[in-house]
Amino acid sequence: VKVNQVAYVPGLAKVATLVSSSGSPVAWTLKNSSGTTVASGQTTVRGADTLSGDNVHLIDFTSYDTAGTGYVLSAGGSNSYPFDISADPVKRLRYDALAFFYHQRSGIAIDAQYVTSTYARPAGHLNVSPNQGDNNVPCRTSCGYTLDVRGGWYDAGDQGKYVVNGGIAAWQLLNIYERAISVAGADASALGDGKMAIPERANGIPDVLDEARWEVEFLLKMQVPDGRTNAGLVHHKIHDQNWTGLPTRPNQDSQPRLLSPVSTAATLNLAAVAAQAARIFRTIDPTFSARALAAAEKAYAAAKANPNRIADPNDGTGGGSYSDSTLTDEFYWAAAELYVTTGSATYRTDVTGSSLYKGAGFTKGYDWGWTAGLGDTTIALVSNGLPAADIAATRTAMTGFADRLLTQVATQGYPAPFATTNAAYYWGSNGQVANNADVLALAYDFTGQEKYRTGVFQTLDYLLGRNPLNQSYIAGYGEKAVRNVHHRFWANQNDGSLPIAPPGSFSGGPNAGLDDPIAQAQLAGCKSQKCFIDDIGAYSVNEVAINWNSGLAWLASWAAEKSGT
Ligand code: 9MR
């Protein structure tokens, strides 16, 4: 019996999945922590499930709604892991998923007072031996200058810093806040100053904005300064010359650090995120806001003058390539952010003239390689001067996407709003599941229709254990939570010298592509939702990454708000 191993929220739907080949309903019981049966019923037969290969039944125990801990569901001779009926865990998850970003910070010591001594570590990449530092980083292919690109977040289990992935992750953290101050009835109070365990927790600025700004400041440093060739364009990424092994704590990395060439995609990412930050910080920190806007406008102009600088897909030694050859979406996103921030006619013409305008590109949720939805979301959420009918059409496109997700999950044994075929489960599926569920949440914001909220919480059920492997993909959450995520510091050494990933870290999840040797050796022939192994070497299924954790943080933050007291 596969359940959300953490908690179902009182007042909301509660459904579990039973694996059973029986063609007729079977009896289920729900016992409380003293072993007393508190509810019982009959399963609903669902039959063969495409994405797992399992024969499944559904157990709907929504009608039992008494808060408590240690519940166990039993059916067909099997028991679930114990779980709670409570809103508390999702409220913790909001902050744990956000804490991931402080843990991933580069260029600053991670302090025990915020993360406990288990997760404290020296600063990485400040030119303290053996680090070569991000202080004066030269170009991989010579460019005649070096840049100081200290700071930012490490991308994932590696210590590269990639503008296109940093951009979407920073945008999402900023959007958590911007949504909360834009949607009627939303609650920004949980996002204020002093809510997170970070060094800026008493500076009078909402902590989630402080955390996002840590990355935005880094992104700004990746822009080629005036007076240099390619001024205004942005370097695609900075990372090690060669891949480092596991484990390598950030301050122990001795590899040379190098800037990859500029790209139009990175330039438009900076334009979009810096424009968004300029808007949000306008009254909070006018000086920073003005600096960010100037950089954004310069980047946008440089991208328009250089519309086709594609990052080399083969530049993948020592770091990921993050190459993307379709830039219509980045142009649309950047124009949308700049227009909503400035109201200027040039950006307006570029937004309304885009083939993606009014949600025409809303074919997936937030994704580093497909950013149209980020522009749509800003247009749909933040007050702006576009025609009301066009804003309404954008929202309709977003709810239409949400409806298609709900149609997909309606037939699944383990509902996950992502894909309907086994082959479609790619690297980072969990990240996309979360990033699609964020759109279900916005559809609820726009319409108030219960089906979307149900879809959001059902997605959390999947990620927290209601899946064919009975696996919670969020560290620290659930009886069988991931322990061995691919990470150079959280490398879970047997001698206890290095920790497991901290609570709230989010594994990339099932990947039918089996893109690493361990996955290939262990998982051949798997059905998509079973193409996963909690092995530290299996980087194509079990790594963490900022763009996945940002989708989860957005989701958990929304779900916490909607969970009542
Ligand atoms: O998330 C990225 C995924 O979309 C790509 O298919 C994959 C292969 O290029 O790379 C993923 O990103 C990784 C990056 O290249 C390096 N840092 C770790 C990232 C997560 O695994």
d(CA 124, CA 250): 5
Asked whether 543 lines ligand 1 (CB < 6 A), one says yes
How high is the pLDDT of residue 495? 83
Q: Judge contact between 251 and 265, C-beta under 8 A.
A: no
Q: Is 297 a catalytic residue?
A: no
Q: Domain 1-86 is classified in which CATH homologous superfamily?
A: Immunoglobulins (2.60.40.10)
Length of the chain: 565
Report residue 381 as tokens: 């959420």
506: CA distance to ligand 1 center in Å?
Answer: 14
Look at the block and give the residue holding tokens 């949607």. 183
Give residue limits of the domains in the chain. Answer: 1-86, 88-139+147-235+253-466+544-561
Distance from Cα 380 to the centre of ligand 1, integer Å: 29
User: Is 49 a pocket residue for ligand 1 (Cβ < 6 Å)?
Assistant: no
Model pLDDT, residue 119: 97
Cα distance between residue 558 and residue 545, in whole Å: 20
Q: Answer for the pair 30, 75: CB distance below 8 angstroms, yes or no.
A: no
DSSP string, 195-215: SS-STTTTSSS-HHHHHHHHH
What one-character-per-residue DSSP string does 513-526 give?
T--SHHHHHHHTT-
CA–CA–CA angle 165, 433, 337 (5° rounding)? 45
pLDDT at 473: 99
How many Å lie between the centroid of ligand 1 and the Cα of residue 550? 15
Active-site entry in 193, 312, 479, 534:
534
* Residue 85 to residues 88, 458, 555, 565, Cα–Cα distance (Å): 9, 14, 19, 13
- In this prediction, residue 496 carries a pLDDT of 82
Q: Is the CB of 200 under 6 A from ligand 1?
A: no
Q: Which of 49, 158, 207, 330 is catalytic?
A: 158
Phi, psi of 45 (to 5 degrees): -75, 130
CA distance 554 to 98: 9
Cα distance between residue 286 and residue 408, in whole Å: 45
For ligand 1, atom 18, the nearest C-alpha belongs to 156
- 513 within ligand 1 shell (Cβ under 6 A): no
Does 534 qualify as catalytic in the annotation?
yes
**CA–CA separation, 191 vs 209, rounded Å?**
9
> What's 88-139+147-235+253-466+544-561's CATH class?
mainly alpha
| C-alpha 277 – ligand 1 centre gap (Å) | 25
pLDDT value of residue 61: 98
Quickly count helices (H) and strands (E) in the chain.
15, 14
486 is an active site residue:
yes
**Residue 516: how many CA atoms within 13 Å on its side-chain side?**
19
Per-residue DSSP letters for 234-286? EESEEEESS---SS--GGG--S-EEEPPEEHHHHHHHHHHHHHHHHHTTTT-H
Amino acid in the structure at residue 129: S
Q: How far apart are CA 548 and CA 506, in angstroms?
A: 7
Q: Name beta bridge partners: 127.
A: none
* CA-proximal residue: ligand 1, atom 6 (nearest): 427
Report the run of H or E that residue 549 belongs to, with start and end.
Answer: helix 546-561
Q: What is the pLDDT of residue 565?
A: 59
Can 158 be counted among the known catalytic residues?
yes
Which protein residue's CA is at the shortest distance from atom 21 of ligand 1? 543
Would you tell me how many other CB atoms lie within 10 Å of the CB of residue 305? 10
Walking along the chain (565 residues) 10 residues at a time, the average pLDDT comes out as 98 98 98 98 98 98 98 98 98 98 98 98 98 97 96 98 98 98 95 98 98 99 97 98 97 98 98 99 98 99 98 98 98 99 98 98 96 98 98 98 98 97 98 98 98 98 98 98 97 88 98 98 98 98 98 98 86
Determine the residue of 314, 418, 427, 505 to mutate for testing ligand 1's pocket, defined as the one with the most ligand atoms within 8 A of the Cβ atom: 427
